[in-house]
Structure 1
Amino acid sequence: MYIPKDFQMETEFIYQSIEEYPFSVLVSGSENGLVATHLPLLLSDDKQKLVGHFAKPNPQKESVSKEVLCIFSGPHCYISPSWYETERAVPTWNFTAVHVKGILNIVDDPEKIQKSLVALVQRFESKDSKYQIESVDTNYIEGLKKGIVPFEIQITHIEGKQKLSQNHSVERRNLVISNLDLLPGENEKAIASLMRKNLIQ
């Protein structure tokens, strides 16, 4: 990923971004060219691996022991040149993104598989939800496990980009923030918040 120096994301924020926006695109090579799967991935506690699973028919499971690329997209939105103090400007797009490269390995340890599935449910199920995976019939869960291919990706390289108008003056960035605050979209609100924090740093 091309990352100008001003747009480089700090390591701490990279990990935070993966945890906040875990739905990723996993890309790998195959005999038929590049293939991609959209799926949630969780960062391991030691931040050395990404954990997830494929549906068993997914041909991307053949990427075992090969390098894969995981793309995590954070908030993003259009930036209008009409928000600037000059007409000498063009439209752009502000966003955050993280790229993770690593080696994909299949997990066959039943205990690790169960732990990863429970972790996925706990991560996304609301805290006041009545659903508890531990309460689901064991035979039913074991049957569903036969239809998935659990895996871990050993991280070899990680990088992040946050394009938040850092190449513009503070005055212009404040104008952008003010205009984004007026818009109803969640992406616009999130980018405004990140831009505001970036100005304080």
Structure 2
Amino acid sequence: MRQNPSFAMTDVAELRRLIDRHPWMTLVSSTPDGLVASHYAVLLDEDSDDLTVVGHVGKPDDLLHGLGDRELLLVVQGPHGYISPGWYGDVQSVPTWNFVSAHLSGIPEVLTPQENLKVLDRLVERFERRMPEPRRMWERPNDPAYVERLERGTVGFRLRPTRVVAKRKLSQNKTSDVVETIIAELSGDGPYADPALAAEMRRAADARVRP
């Protein structure tokens, strides 16, 4: 991802927020047979306060990626959406796309089966807790034998990124009036309305004016 200093995202707290809110990631590896990409939910490592993440892949994706032997790229995609040139006013302009994204790279550590079970348990808990009647991993009708068979079909990993490239392109190069217009359009009911992107732009705009 080409970096632009005006859009660089370097604050660890903001990057952790991005990862936490957008756990569905693309995993990319370069292999002797070419590029390989997979898609899995990934979580922040609860034992770290940096950008270390944990996750799993289903077998045989571990072999396809050379998990633990080769560099792995995780692509985190936050809110994104189309920005019409009509929202800039009566000036020369072209369409663009606003987005928040991060690339985390490194050689992952393969987890033990016990560590992987903890990650799988956290993953289920993370999403099931919002359900009116959560179905947690170790609860009935699941039994321990079923859960252990499930674990054996997966390979857990921990990635401590050695390279992070993150970008928050949210019209920071536009005047505050234009930014407010874009936020209003994204918050409305038009064909490109996107409340999540509008909220991210509002957050970034407020941060720029905060003393």
Aligned to 1:97: 101
Structure-to-structure mapping, 1:31-110, within 5 angstroms: 31-45=32-46, 46=48, 47-58=50-61, 59-108=63-112, 110=113
Runs of 4+ in 1 over 4 A off after TM superposition: 184-187
**Residue of structure 1 aligned with 2:157, choices 138, 151, 155:** 151
Identity %: 34
TM score, norm. by length of structure 1: 0.91
**Residue of structure 2 aligned with 1:166, choices 148, 167, 172:** 172
- The offset of 1:61, in angstroms, is 4.4
Aligned to 1:178: 184
More strand by share: 1
Mapped partners of 1:196, 1:23: distance in 2: 23
Kindly provide the amino acid, as one letter, of the partner of residue 57 in structure 2.
F
- The offset of 1:14, in angstroms, is 0.8
Asked if the contact 1:30–1:63 (Cα under 8 Å) also holds between the matched residues in 2, the reply is: no
Q: Which runs of 5+ in 1 are unaligned?
A: none
Asked if the contact 2:26–2:74 (Cα under 8 Å) also holds between the matched residues in 1, the reply is: yes
- The offset of 1:178, in angstroms, is 1.2
Cα RMSD over matched residues?
1.9
Mapped partners of 1:13, 1:55: distance in 2: 29
* CA separation of 1:159 and 1:27: change in aligned 2, threshold 3 A: same
TM score, norm. by length of structure 2: 0.87
* CA separation of 1:116 and 1:186: change in aligned 2, threshold 3 A: farther
Q: Which runs of 5+ in 2 are unaligned?
A: none
Kindly provide the amino acid, as one letter, of the partner of residue 182 in structure 1.
G
